[in-house]
């Protein structure tokens, strides 16, 4: 309702400004016309010629000459002496004088006084109607103003409606209706604003959903090792058996390590979910990166196979973040595979690819579309062996976005899952 009043206030303000502006133009024109002696050049020339003609005749004939001129030219002409002028109620505004000619006006009437050089007698023309702006031009101006008013109404009304809808959407959003979306804008002026609002609302909704999911996941993940630790501490306090004490100490140590891993994983994702960091793109050998990651997992009882299909070709990449993404892929393959991991380096069109394939049970089709989402897990049991918050693949997806590429998954030919890193060989600045 407030925006509706604001719209009409703005509309009437603009129209009032145009009306006032038009009136001021009329006043300026009127003042200019009144003060411009050239507007009466014809009258002035006529009075000057009549004055010269009168001077050539005896003074007692002047009145008859002026009277005949008045009848001939059909103009209100008369002779007046200084005394008669002083006694008459002539117009009070002497707007301009030039030589012997004086122009007086009063409202819509005008008088022109011309003094005869050889005497104090004055030839008076008037009162006559003051020239005004033609009515046709005035009508055209009114039509133009009316047309402009209609155009302004048609232009401002959609803008007002869009702002009103955006205001209502913002109020609903502020009341925690996070699924609300601002309607499509009718005005091109508000379209970027509506688009930006919907993008912001979508972002906030994702953050709130992620926060709720994080709270639930953290509560679930931390509760289990804490419960085990509490139980192990109670059992440790109630036994004197050295073997059992060592067993419980080892269980507590494992639970603490699991808690540290969970906290570290959450902190890493929180850091990755902030603004994009500054990437250091340099030409790197993907084979060196892959071999470095394989070497870091040599303590694991896994059989690694590396297939290099691009030779010694180097690509532009941020070595630190690609190594991080590959590390998460390999960790995932170790966790869900059955001891066999195959890593393939290849080129497809203008993109390079690193493919990590395991021999596990594969990925269910209904889970593939959400596997790269934060806190997404195919194993809902969250047991100790396959624990985690499901943040590793979300981190991989974010890293590939920074590289202008993508992360995807598909089923392997001989079972298991095949996770792929794909990004342009040449980065575009």
State the pLDDT confidence band at 322, using cuts at 50, 70 and 90: very high
In terms of CATH architecture, what is 190-274?
A: Orthogonal Bundle (1.10)
Contact 288, 312 (CB under 8 A): no
79 within 8 A of 62, measured Cβ to Cβ:
yes
* Domain locations along the chain: 36-129, 190-274, 282-424
Asked whether residue 382 carries a pLDDT value surpassing 60, the answer given is no
Task: Reduce the DSSP state of residue 310 to 3 states and report it.
Answer: coil
- Which is nearest to 76 in space by CA: 122, 121, 124, 41? 124
Report phi then psi at 184, rounded to 5. -60, 135
- The H or E element spanning position 195 is helix 191-237
The pLDDT score that the predictor gives to residue 131 is 55
The CATH code that applies to domain 282-424 is 3.30.565.10
H or E stretch at 333: helix 319-336
The answer to whether 423 and 317 are in contact (CB under 8 A) is yes
pLDDT tens, residue by residue, 329-346 = 998 888 888 889 999 999
Which range (89-103, 142-156, 332-346) has the least confidence?
Answer: 89-103
Most confident of 137-146, 215-224, 366-375: 366-375
Question: 101-110, 401-410, 415-424: which has the minimum mean pLDDT?
Answer: 101-110
Predicted pLDDT at 2:
47
pLDDT digits (tens, 9 = 90+) for 194-211: 888 888 888 888 778 777
Q: Would strands 340-348 and 303-308 be described as parallel, antiparallel, or unpaired?
A: parallel
Query: What gap in Å lies between CA 72 and CA 77, rounded to an integer?
Result: 11
Query: Hey, is 147 helix, strand or coil?
Result: helix
Please, what is the average pLDDT of the chain? 78
**Backbone angles phi and psi of 232, in degrees to 5:** -65, -35
pTM over 0.85: no
Length of the chain: 429
Tell me the DSSP string of 335-348: HHS-SEEEEEEEEE
Structure tokens at 273: 């979910």
User: Is 411:336 a contact under the CB 8 Å cutoff?
Assistant: no
| Residue 291: per-residue pLDDT | 92
């Amino acid at each position: 309702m407030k925006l509706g009043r604001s719209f009409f206030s703005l509309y009437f303000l603009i129209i009032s400004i145009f009306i006032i502006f038009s009136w001021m133009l009329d006043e300026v024109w009127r003042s200019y016309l009144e003060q411009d002696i050239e507007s009466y050049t014809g009258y002035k020339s006529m009075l000057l010629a009549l004055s010269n003609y009168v001077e050539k005749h005896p003074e007692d004939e002047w009145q008859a000459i002026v009277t005949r001129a008045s009848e001939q030219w059909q103009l209100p002409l008369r002779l007046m002496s200084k005394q008669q002028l002083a006694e008459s109620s002539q117009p009070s505004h002497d707007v301009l004088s030039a030589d012997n000619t004086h122009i007086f006006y009063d409202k819509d009437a005008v008088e022109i006084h011309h003094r005869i050089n050889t005497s104090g007698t004055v030839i008076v023309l008037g009162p006559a109607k003051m020239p005004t702006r033609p009515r046709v031009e005035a009508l055209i101006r009114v039509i133009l103003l009316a047309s402009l008013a209609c155009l302004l109404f048609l232009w401002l009304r959609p803008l007002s409606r869009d702002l009103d809808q955006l205001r209502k959407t913002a109020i609903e959003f502020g009341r925690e209706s996070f699924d609300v979306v601002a309607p499509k804008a009718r005005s091109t002026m508000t379209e970027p604003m509506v688009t930006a609002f919907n993008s912001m609302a979508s972002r906030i909704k994702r953050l709130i959903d992620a926060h709720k999911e994080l709270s639930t996941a953290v509560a679930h993940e931390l509760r289990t090792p804490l419960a085990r630790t509490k139980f192990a501490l109670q059992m440790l306090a109630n036994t004197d058996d050295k073997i059992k004490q060592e067993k419980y100490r080892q269980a507590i140590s494992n639970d603490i390590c699991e808690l540290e891993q969970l906290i570290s994983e959450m902190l890493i994702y929180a850091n990755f979910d902030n603004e994009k960091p500054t990437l250091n793109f340099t030409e790197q050998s993907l084979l060196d990166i892959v071999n470095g990651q394989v070497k870091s997992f040599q303590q694991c009882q896994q059989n690694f196979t590396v297939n290099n299909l691009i030779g010694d070709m180097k690509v532009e990449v941020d070595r630190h973040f690609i190594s991080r993404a590959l590390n998460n892929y390999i960790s995932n393959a170790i966790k869900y595979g059955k001891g066999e991991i195959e890593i393939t380096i290849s080129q497809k069109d203008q993109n390079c690819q690193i493919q990590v394939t395991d021999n596990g049970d594969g990925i269910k089709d209904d889970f593939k579309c959400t596997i790269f989402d934060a806190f997404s897990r195919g194993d809902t049991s969250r047991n100790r062996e396959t624990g985690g918050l499901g943040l590793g693949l979300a981190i991989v997806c974010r890293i590939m976005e920074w590289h202008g590429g993508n992360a995807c998954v598909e089923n392997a030919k001989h079972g298991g899952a095949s996770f792929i890193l794909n990004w342009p060989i040449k980065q575009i600045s």
